[in-house]
Chains A and B, each alone.
Chain A
């Protein structure tokens, strides 16, 4: 029984039809949570004594950073499933996930940098987290570039999956190395990257925003995957029917 379900999951058409109905609801919930969390954080969250109101950036910086990392694993695992089980749909998910992750990483970098200006006086500081995030951004760009470079879709899928897997194995090592490198320059002082223990009234909106970002990510990923399905299956009759219906 489970095998049957797994096989069906590999069918793009089945996936497309099954996600049709509840996808808009997922999007709605995500958007609601995003708006609520943002307003909560912007207007009602505490302004930290040390950092002042710029701490409100945390409600978008942290979720973006978390999702950019998680998104890489989603992408890599989708690639692995595609390679191991020859599941075309999995490759489509991977292809859809790459740009989303890149954009989220960019947002994390942007908000992190802008947050740095009022806090530490500089637009850019090479601290451990930002440096690691730049490398993650480059990892994403590598995947996207590799996908674009290959004309043959099948080859592009498989080659970028191999790269994504190598990346997945290496991300902990890269992060640890950058962390070690950074602590070389900051010997004893617990630096500004050290998060003070979170005030509960800050934790709630933050958790809501993290959840919101997760749901938003899932929603966008599914929509992009569906679009990829349409593109790849455009010669089939069910897609042509869909097109005819507008």
Chain B
């Protein structure tokens, strides 16, 4: 299996014989989608901790437990 870079220069890599916008568009959208999936849990966690801390401050006695 030989790995040959298929393009002569950066310009042709981006332009891809006219198909460039489509290919790069797809990869960009996919990157966005996957990035969202990857980052959302972290954002949710931060928001959750912030919420919980605020709740705990407001009513310290109401903390339930198992």
Contacts and interface: CB of A to CB of B under 8 A. Distances in A.
Interface of A: 27, 34, 38, 40, 42-47, 52-54, 56-57, 60-61, 64, 100, 103-104, 106-107, 110-111, 114-115, 117-118, 200-201, 204, 216, 219-220, 223-224, 226-227, 230-231, 234-240, 243-244, 246
Interface of A, helix, strand, loop or mixed by DSSP? helix
B27 A234 contact: no
A236 B30 contact: no
Interface of B: 1, 3-7, 13, 16-20, 22-23, 25-27, 29-30, 33-34, 36-38, 40-41, 44-45, 48-49, 52-53, 56, 63-66
A54 B44 CA distance: 36
A231 B17 CA distance: 50
A56 B23 contact: yes
Contacts of B23: 42, 53-54, 56-57
Contacts of A231: 48
A236 B25 contact: no
Interface of B, helix, strand, loop or mixed by DSSP? helix
B6 A46 contact: yes
B65 to A, nearest CB: 4
Contacts of B44: 227
Q: What 5 pairs across the A-B complex have the smallest Cβ distances? A: A53-B16, A223-B41, A235-B64, A53-B19, A54-B19
Contacts of A240: 52, 56, 63, 65
